[in-house]
A and B are shown apart, each in its own frame.
Chain A
Amino acid sequence: MADYKYTPADFKSDQEVRWCPGCGDHAILNAVQRALPEVADALDTPHNLFTFVSGIGCSSRFIYYMKTYGFHSVHGRANAVATGVKVANPQLSVWVATGDGDSLAIGGNHFIHAIRRNVDLNVILFNNEIYGLTKGQYSPTSKLGKITKTSPYGTVEKPFNPGELVIGAKGTFFARTVDMEVQLTKECLVQAAKHKGMSVVEALQNCVIFNDKTHAAYAGDKATRAEHTVVLRHGEKMLFGANKEKGLVFENMKLKVVTVGQDGYTLDDVLTHDAHQRDTTLHMMLAAMKYPDYPVALGVIRAVEDDTVYDRAVERQVEEVKASSKIHCVDDLLHSGATWEVE
Chain B
Amino acid sequence: MEQTKVRELQDVVIRFSGDSGDGMQLTGTLFSDTSALLGNGISTFPDYPAEIRAPQGTVAGVSGFQVHFGDHRELNPGDYCDVLVAMNPAALKANRKWLKAGATVIIDGDSITEEHLKKAGFKTLDPLAELNLDEYNVVVPDITSMTREALKETGLDNKAVTKCKNMFALGICFWMFDRPEEYALRYLDTKFAKKNPAVAEANKLAIKAGYNYAANTHQFANNYTVAPAAREKGTYRSISGNVATAWGLCAAAEKAGLPLFCGSYPITPATVILEELAKRKDLGVKTVQAEDEIAGICTAIGAAFAGNFAVTTTSGPGLSLKSEALGLAVMTELPLVVVDVQRGGPSTGLPTKTEQSDLAQALYGRNGECPVIVMAASSPSDCFHYAFEAGRLAMEHMTPVVLLTDGFIANGSEPWRIPSMKDYPKICPPIVDVAPEGGFMPYVRNEQLARGWAFPGKVGLEHRVGGLEKDAVKGSISHDPANHQKMVDTRAAKVAKVVDDIPSQQVWGDAEGELLVVGWGGTRGHLQNAVDEMRREGRKVSLCHFNYINPLPHGVREIFARFRRIVVCELNEGQFANYLRQNFQEFHYEQYNKCEGQPFTVVELKEKFESLLK
What residues make up the interface of A, taking CB atoms closer than 8 Å to B? 13, 15, 46-49, 51, 53-54, 56, 63-64, 66-74, 77, 80-89, 91-92, 109-110, 113, 314-315, 317-318, 320-322, 325, 327-331, 333-335, 337-343
How distant is the Cα of A253 from the Cα of B305 in the complex, in angstroms?
A: 49
A83 touches B294 (CB 8 A): no
B283, CB-defined interface residue at 8 Å: yes
Q: Which of A77, A88, A320 has the most CB of B within 10 A?
A: A88
* Residues in A whose Cβ lies below 8 Å from that of B418: 334-335, 339
B456 touches A89 (CB 8 A): yes
* Residues in B whose Cβ lies below 8 Å from that of A334: 237, 247, 418-419, 421
How distant is the Cα of A74 from the Cα of B328 in the complex, in angstroms?
A: 7
A72 touches B466 (CB 8 A): yes
Q: Label chain B's interface by main secondary structure.
A: mixed
Please name the 6 residue pairs, one residue from A and one from B, whose CB atoms are nearest each other, closest first: A84-B302, A72-B466, A325-B282, A84-B299, A80-B298, A70-B464
B294-316 residues with Cβ-Cβ distance < 8 A to A are 294-295, 298-308, 310
Select A318's contact among B281, B461, B463, beta carbons within 8 Å: B281
A85 to chain B, nearest CB (A): 4
B460, CB-defined interface residue at 8 Å: yes
8 contacts between A and B (CB under 8 A): A64-B477, A71-B465, A80-B295, A84-B300, A84-B306, A318-B284, A333-B283, A334-B418
A342 touches B282 (CB 8 A): no
Contacts A318-B281, A335-B418; is A88 near B261 (CB within 8 Å)? yes
Closest to A314 in B: B286
How distant is the Cα of A91 from the Cα of B259 in the complex, in angstroms?
A: 15
Contacts A69-B462, A70-B463, A74-B325; is A342 near B236 (CB within 8 Å)? yes
A72 touches B467 (CB 8 A): yes
How distant is the Cα of A10 from the Cα of B409 in the complex, in angstroms?
A: 54
* Residues in A whose Cβ lies below 8 Å from that of B295: 77, 80, 83, 109-110, 113
Chain B residues within 8 Å of chain A by Cβ, number: 72
A84 touches B421 (CB 8 A): no
* Residues in A whose Cβ lies below 8 Å from that of B303: 84-85, 87-88
B214-246 residues with Cβ-Cβ distance < 8 A to A are 228, 231-238
Q: Which of B33, B281, B325, B468 has the most CB of A within 10 A?
A: B281
* Residues in B whose Cβ lies below 8 Å from that of A337: 237
Closest to A311 in B: B286
Closest to A318 in B: B281
How distant is the Cα of A86 from the Cα of B261 in the complex, in angstroms?
A: 12
Contacts A72-B465, A88-B307, A334-B419; is A48 near B237 (CB within 8 Å)? no
How distant is the Cα of A303 from the Cα of B346 in the complex, in angstroms?
A: 47
Beyond the given A13-B464, A77-B328, A343-B233, please list 11 additional residue pairs across the A-B interface where CB-CB is below 8 A.
Answer: A48-B461, A80-B302, A83-B288, A321-B282, A327-B280, A329-B283, A329-B421, A330-B247, A330-B251, A335-B418, A339-B236
How distant is the Cα of A113 from the Cα of B461 in the complex, in angstroms?
A: 31
B237 touches A342 (CB 8 A): no
* Residues in A whose Cβ lies below 8 Å from that of B464: 13, 63-64, 66, 69-72
A291 to chain B, nearest CB (A): 33
How distant is the Cα of A190 from the Cα of B463 in the complex, in angstroms?
A: 23
A56 to chain B, nearest CB (A): 8
B557, CB-defined interface residue at 8 Å: no
B282 touches A77 (CB 8 A): no
Q: Which of A54, A68, A80 has the most CB of B within 10 A?
A: A80
How distant is the Cα of A110 from the Cα of B421 in the complex, in angstroms?
A: 38
Give the A-B contact count at a CB cut-off of 8 A.
212
B260-297 residues with Cβ-Cβ distance < 8 A to A are 261, 263, 280-286, 288, 290-292, 294-295
A92 touches B306 (CB 8 A): yes
B177 to chain A, nearest CB (A): 17
* Residues in B whose Cβ lies below 8 Å from that of A83: 288, 295, 298-299, 302
How distant is the Cα of A69 from the Cα of B476 in the complex, in angstroms?
A: 13
A68 touches B462 (CB 8 A): yes
Q: Which of B36, B291, B299, B308 has the most CB of A within 10 A?
A: B299
* Residues in B whose Cβ lies below 8 Å from that of A85: 302-303, 305-306, 456
Closest to B246 in A: A333
Closest to A65 in B: B464
Closest to A83 in B: B299
How distant is the Cα of A329 from the Cα of B463 in the complex, in angstroms?
A: 34
* Residues in A whose Cβ lies below 8 Å from that of B455: 89
A88 touches B235 (CB 8 A): no
How distant is the Cα of A88 from the Cα of B457 in the complex, in angstroms?
A: 12
A338 touches B458 (CB 8 A): no
B338, CB-defined interface residue at 8 Å: no
Contacts A48-B462, A314-B286, A322-B282; is A80 near B294 (CB within 8 Å)? yes
How distant is the Cα of A70 from the Cα of B332 in the complex, in angstroms?
A: 12
Select B302's contact among A53, A339, A342, beta carbons within 8 Å: A53
A284 to chain B, nearest CB (A): 23
B466 touches A71 (CB 8 A): yes
Closest to B455 in A: A89
Closest to B259 in A: A88
A88 touches B419 (CB 8 A): no
B301 touches A81 (CB 8 A): yes
A74 touches B37 (CB 8 A): no
How distant is the Cα of A328 from the Cα of B476 in the complex, in angstroms?
A: 42
How distant is the Cα of A68 from the Cα of B465 in the complex, in angstroms?
A: 11
A81 to chain B, nearest CB (A): 4
A331 touches B284 (CB 8 A): no
A84 to chain B, nearest CB (A): 3
Select B36's contact among A48, A53, A327, A340, beta carbons within 8 Å: A340
A339 to chain B, nearest CB (A): 5
Contact with A along B487-507 (1 / 0, CB 8 A): 000000000000000000000
B122, CB-defined interface residue at 8 Å: no
B482, CB-defined interface residue at 8 Å: no
* Residues in A whose Cβ lies below 8 Å from that of B461: 48
Select A321's contact among B281, B308, B468, beta carbons within 8 Å: B281
Closest to B37 in A: A340
Closest to A51 in B: B456
A80 touches B299 (CB 8 A): yes
A329 touches B301 (CB 8 A): no
